[in-house]
Amino acid sequence: MLTLTLAWRNVLRNRRRTAVTVAATTFALWVMILYSGLVEGYISAMADDVLELEVGDIQAFPMGYQDDPSIYRRIEAPALAMAGLEARGFRASPRVLAGALAASGELSAGVALRGVEVERDAVTLRVAEKVAEGSWLDPSDPRGVVVGRRLARTLAVHPGSELVVLTQGADGSLANDLYTVRGVLSSVGEGTDRAGVFVVQETLRELLVLPEGVHQIVVRKPAEGSLEEATAEVAAAFPNQDVRSWRQILPTVATMLDASRSVVGIVFFLVYVAVGILVLNAMLMAVFERIREFGVMKALGVGPWLVMRVILVESALQLGLATALGLVLAAPFAVALQTRGLDMTFLAGATVMGLSSPAVWKGSFTPAVVAQPVIVLLVVVGLSVLWPAWRAARLRPLDAMRAT
């Protein structure tokens, strides 16, 4: 109690310096909580788009398909393996893929045909929720297709437009047919936006003369368990096939997302170094002003550890007040950013490393995200105050009492 009383009196002794130190520390914590939550929300949104719209957690391809995407390379009879995975909590959606030429009027473009099982795809991925115009695929309308946003602009099509598709059939024939655009997607990803054409799988099989087999199986893993373990399970279910996690399929994107989190640490370092210098300067001034007082205390028999404790507790009181204020002031902003977010519609359609930017940028303020800047602040301020406390503890009574 004596240490606490002395420390509290010292905090109140120079109210202006205390106010400046607490205000700067509070502001730094407020900024870093909101910044880290926004960055985490942005990264999570982009990662979710990768997993939930296009790639899934894991994909299985026929061996060699990634290097030579031929319609003749197929995973035959995947139904049994998918049923086994679904029994263990996985979700899987098989797809038939093909390259083609699409034309509307006098305009044409190369496209990537994606034949999906509508019901399975709906529980595996969320691409059906990204329809901006018209509606998603419907098995009752087998000749309806859904196209990417930029492709629709290139071909000048909209819901109700006719689309001619020309490709090669598995029997070597030249396959072509006429389809109707049912829907146009909003921004999903670079590949889908520019060339994606989604078709009911049975319709695409008829066009390609491909009664059996699939070219891709998109898998979502259960919530529990690591990505590596889930990838191993899928590989065991599809032996002799090329099974890859999304990190292996998109290594550049995975690296970018990891690097984005590292940027938060760099900003932490820069901001908190400035705060640490401020605290160090304030505590050194506080020690310098009280040199004679410390000398008297030590002459009366006060040990160096008690002097050091007074300085440390004084700093802890200021840090505790700043932390409480920072958390309280950040709370309403964090709630608003997590629920309503920032309107980023002016960037709608922009892509970063092939990933679409969210139209609404929402923060993610989980306990771990909020705790990180608080812990870093405690460590930085704690280290900053050690030097002034150590100097005060080492003062010799005679030298201190002679100081002017």
Query: What is the per-residue pLDDT for 318?
Result: 83
**8 Å CB contact between 147 and 185:** yes
290/344 same-domain check:
yes
Query: What is the per-residue pLDDT for 58?
Result: 93
In this structure, which amino acid lies at residue 1?
M
Q: Could you report the per-residue pLDDT of 171-220, keeping only the tens digit for each?
A: 888 899 999 999 999 888 778 889 999 999 999 999 999 988 999 999 99
64/213 same-domain check:
yes
Residues 6+ apart with CB under 8 A from 209: 169, 170, 171, 173, 175
What does 292-356 look like in DSSP terms, one character per residue?
Answer: HHHHHHHHTT--HHHHHHHHHHHHHHHHHHHHHHHHHHHHHHHHHHHHT-EE-GGGTT-EETTEE
211/285 same-domain check:
no
In a domain, 96, yes or no: yes
26/64 same-domain check:
no
Per the structure block, which two tokens stand in for 161?
């437009």
Which of 179, 195, 220 lies at the terminal end of a domain, its last residue? Answer: 220
Q: Could you report the per-residue pLDDT of 256-290, keeping only the tens digit for each?
A: 777 776 777 777 777 777 777 777 777 777 666 66
**8 Å CB contact between 78 and 238:** yes
In a domain, 239, yes or no: no
Helices 367-394 and 304-339: angle between axes, nearest 10 degrees: 160
Which of 220, 237, 267 lies at the terminal end of a domain, its last residue? Answer: 220
Using the predicted structure, report yes or no on whether residue 29 has a pLDDT greater than 60: yes
- Phi, psi for residue 73 in degrees, rounded to 5: -90, 115
State the Cα–Cα distance between residues 357 and 186, nearest whole angstrom: 11
In a domain, 232, yes or no: no
Query: What is the per-residue pLDDT for 6?
Result: 65
Q: Could you report the per-residue pLDDT of 356-374, keeping only the tens digit for each?
A: 566 677 888 888 888 988 8
Number of H helices, E strands in the chain: 14, 14
As a whole number, the mean pLDDT across the chain is: 84
The dihedral sign for the CA sequence 29, 33, 34, 39: positive
Query: What is the per-residue pLDDT for 247?
Result: 87
In a domain, 121, yes or no: yes
In a domain, 226, yes or no: no
Q: What's the domain count of the chain?
A: 2
**Least confident interval from 239-248, 284-293, 348-357:** 348-357
398/278 same-domain check:
yes
40/143 same-domain check:
no
Give me Rg for the CA atoms of the chain.
Answer: 31
In a domain, 248, yes or no: no
21/116 same-domain check:
no
Please report which confidence band the pLDDT of residue 352 belongs to, taking 50, 70 and 90 as the band edges.
low
Query: What is the per-residue pLDDT for 341?
Result: 80
Query: What is the per-residue pLDDT for 398?
Result: 66
Beta pairing partners, 177: 165
Domain assignment of residue 361, given as a range: 2-51+253-402
Q: Could you report the per-residue pLDDT of 31-68, keeping only the tens digit for each?
A: 888 988 888 887 777 777 777 877 889 999 999 998 88
Helices 15-49 and 367-394: angle between axes, nearest 10 degrees: 150
Which of 201, 220, 239 lies at the terminal end of a domain, its last residue? Answer: 220
In a domain, 231, yes or no: no
Say what the pTM is. 0.70
User: Alpha helices of 196-250 — where are they, by DSSP H?
Assistant: 201-208, 227-237, 246-249
202/92 same-domain check:
yes
324/394 same-domain check:
yes
DSSP classification of residue 370 = H
Strands (DSSP E) found in 126-234: 131-134, 144-147, 162-168, 174-185, 196-200, 216-220
205/267 same-domain check:
no
In a domain, 236, yes or no: no
**87: exposed, middle or buried (C-beta count within 10 Å: 0-12, 13-18, 19+)?**
exposed
**8 Å CB contact between 114 and 94:** no
**8 Å CB contact between 41 and 369:** no
Using the predicted structure, report yes or no on whether residue 345 has a pLDDT greater than 70: no
DSSP classification of residue 136 = -
**Least confident interval from 24-33, 50-59, 114-123, 294-303:** 294-303
Q: Which long-range contacts (C-beta less than 8 Å, at least 24 apart) are formed by 294-302? A: 294/392, 294/395, 294/400, 295/395, 295/396, 295/397, 295/398, 295/399, 295/400, 295/401, 295/403, 296/397, 296/400, 296/401, 298/395, 298/396, 298/397, 298/400, 299/397, 299/401
Percent of the chain with pLDDT over 90: 35
State the Cα–Cα distance between residues 175 and 171, nearest whole angstrom: 10
Q: Could you report the per-residue pLDDT of 139-166, keeping only the tens digit for each?
A: 999 999 999 999 999 999 999 999 999 9
45/63 same-domain check:
no
Q: Could you report the per-residue pLDDT of 369-394, keeping only the tens digit for each?
A: 889 888 888 888 888 777 777 777 77
Query: What is the per-residue pLDDT for 381?
Result: 80
The dihedral sign for the CA sequence 276, 280, 286, 287: positive
Query: What is the per-residue pLDDT for 98?
Result: 93
Using the predicted structure, report yes or no on whether residue 297 has a pLDDT greater than 80: no
170/292 same-domain check:
no
